[in-house]
Amino acid sequence: MIYFGRFQYGGMLMLNNLLGMVISGGAGFRSLSPFLYGQFSMKTKLIKGNSSGTITTFYMSSQDIYKKWCEVDFEFLGNVSGQPYALQTNVYIQGVGEREQQIYLWFDPTAAHHTYRFLWNQELILFFVDNRAIRVFHKATDLGIPYLDYQPMYAIGSLWNGEAWATQGGRIKIDWTQQPFLASYTQWNVSNACKVHNFTSTDDQHACYRKAHQSSYGQAPNLALSKTQIKNLRWVRKNYVIYDYCTKNATATPECARNWP
């Protein structure tokens, strides 16, 4: 089935659903409830051919709840035919992002579905591609940096027009003769996470704090990087990073030394 526009999805699994974008607009879905800590994954197959100007996403966000929201992103920046997608990740805290990192992938993300996953607990947020760690954001409140530990976030997917900046800084626009643009989503899994039924009450949030200490995602070894994850992060940094906010402004981002092993 192809979806255009925005809809909500309450289940744990999506099977071979397509998000579509045409000149009149894109599409997106959002979980019915927000979550506080857990593992969140989605299998996605990106737009084939000329995808320049398009942005396909899987992310977590509290923007629908808070003015100064938290967010963690997978954003796939389309490109002209034959050129690789860039995967941009970002972290927003209290409504401020500007923590972008971009990498090229080591496979063709349009040929088959690949798994993109967040691990979010009380100590860190890990970004995975096919179970390979590509980024970590550690808790750094001791450095004066707030952490994403009090705002429940929705799980969201979307396909939208980002031609103002997505491809070569906005130089390459969308070729609408190629519409509709289709991205496939399947196996959305939030089964190992803590759902917040009432975000206006602190009771559910406190229950999620307790659950984190009793669940695999909030216990060792998931509270620190493993040797394999450190190896993967170093491999990605050496071979695939094309933009890193830490390199751009390292003196203003004290968390950077902690987040690249």
pLDDT tens digits, the chain, 261 residues: what are they?
Answer: 555 544 444 433 344 588 999 999 888 889 999 999 999 999 999 999 999 999 999 999 999 999 999 999 999 999 998 899 999 999 999 999 999 999 999 999 999 999 999 999 999 999 999 999 999 999 999 999 999 999 999 999 999 999 999 999 999 999 999 999 999 999 889 989 999 999 888 999 999 999 999 999 999 999 999 999 999 999 999 999 999 999 887 566 788 989 998
The whole-number pLDDT of residue 254 equals 84
CA 20 to CA 116: how far, in whole Å?
20
What is the chain's alpha carbon radius of gyration, rounded to the nearest angstrom? Answer: 18
In 3-state terms, what secondary structure has residue 105?
Answer: coil
Q: Which tokens is 25 given?
A: 């607009």
100 as an active site residue: the answer is no
Confidence at residue 119, expressed as pLDDT on a 0 to 100 scale = 98
| Prediction pTM value | 0.94
CA 215 to each of CA 36, 39, 139, 196: distance values in angstroms, whole numbers, following the listed order: 13, 11, 19, 16
Query: Rounded CA gap, 227 and 235, in Å?
Result: 12
Q: What is the pLDDT of residue 158?
A: 93
Catalytic residue among 71, 98, 123, 255: 71
* Structure confidence at residue 43 (pLDDT): 95
Decide if 158 contacts 26 (C-beta within 8 A): yes
d(C-alpha 86, C-alpha 79), whole Å = 8
Catalytic choice (75, 98, 100, 123): 75
The yes-or-no answer on residue 75 being catalytic is yes
